[in-house]
Amino acid sequence: MSNFSRRIKFDISYLFGNVPWDSGISPPELYDFIASHPVGRALDIGCGTGTNIITLANAGWQAEGFDFAPRAIQIAKRKIKQAGITANVYTDDATQMKHAAPPYNLALDLGCFHGIQNKADYLTNLTRILALGGFWLMYGFFKQDAAQPAPGLVPSDMDLIQRHSLILSSRKDGWDKRERPSAWFLFQHS
């Protein structure tokens, strides 16, 4: 599926409310990170409808985010206004991050990186916008077959991440809702 087709599919999913990846609930791993790190600036990469931006802002973080689905950003703006917080959300591409305003102490990615075709550009821009010593909290599922064109992490992705000055701080393996192996990763920019 082309990037253009994927973008249309995502935007239509938000239009009709068929977004199984957007539960409307922040994950415990984000709350654990918030509880164990000082507040700072956070960027939610692939923010969807803004749930995690609201969680971060309510915990004192200066949070913003972007998604490539314009409909998701419309919903996020409405949710942020209803929550009574101030947070910037915008449409952008995770391989470009044109509108990001670095540096960030935290970059959050719940299921975006594993679907990116050009992971090298994503990581180049991630390290550009992430403060030295800043963290990348990332969730992704793994491919069973690295040759599959479908989304998912493969062992070479972990090698690519390390080549971009991102040091693994922790990893928590599990399974996603569809019984695919998945993991939470916390990397620190060195």
Cβ partners under 8 Å of residue 167, min gap 6: 187, 188, 189, 190
**In this model, does residue 42 exceed pLDDT 70?**
yes
User: Is residue 3 a part of any domain in this protein?
Assistant: no
Q: Are 109 and 118 in contact (CB under 8 A)?
A: no
**In this model, does residue 13 exceed pLDDT 70?**
no
Average of per-residue pLDDT across 71-98: 95
Rounded to two decimals, the pTM is 0.90
pLDDT in tens, 170-189: 999 999 888 889 999 999 99
User: Is residue 151 a part of any domain in this protein?
Assistant: yes
Return the H-helix or E-strand segment holding 10: helix 3-15
Residue 181: give the domain boundaries.
29-189
C-alpha to C-alpha distances, 34 to 48, 79, 172, nearest whole angstrom: 20, 21, 17
Q: What is the pLDDT of residue 84?
A: 97
**In this model, does residue 19 exceed pLDDT 80?**
no
C-alpha to C-alpha distances, 74 to 48, 71, 81, 85, 90, nearest whole angstrom: 10, 5, 11, 15, 9
User: Is residue 18 a part of any domain in this protein?
Assistant: no
Give the strand pairing for 166-175 and 181-189: antiparallel
User: Is residue 37 a part of any domain in this protein?
Assistant: yes
What distance in Å separates the CA atoms of residue 165 and residue 167, rounded to the nearest whole number? 6
Please state, for a pLDDT cut of 70, what percent of the chain lies above it. 88
The mean pLDDT of the chain is 90
User: Is residue 60 a part of any domain in this protein?
Assistant: yes
Predicted confidence band of residue 149 (pLDDT cuts 50, 70, 90) = confident
Query: What's the token pair of residue 15?
Result: 């239009």
User: Is residue 15 a part of any domain in this protein?
Assistant: no
CATH number of the CATH domain containing 121? 3.40.50.150
**How many domains does the chain fold into?**
1
User: Is residue 165 a part of any domain in this protein?
Assistant: yes
Please state, for a pLDDT cut of 90, what percent of the chain lies above it. 74
What distance in Å separates the CA atoms of residue 76 and residue 129, rounded to the nearest whole number? 22
User: Is residue 88 a part of any domain in this protein?
Assistant: yes
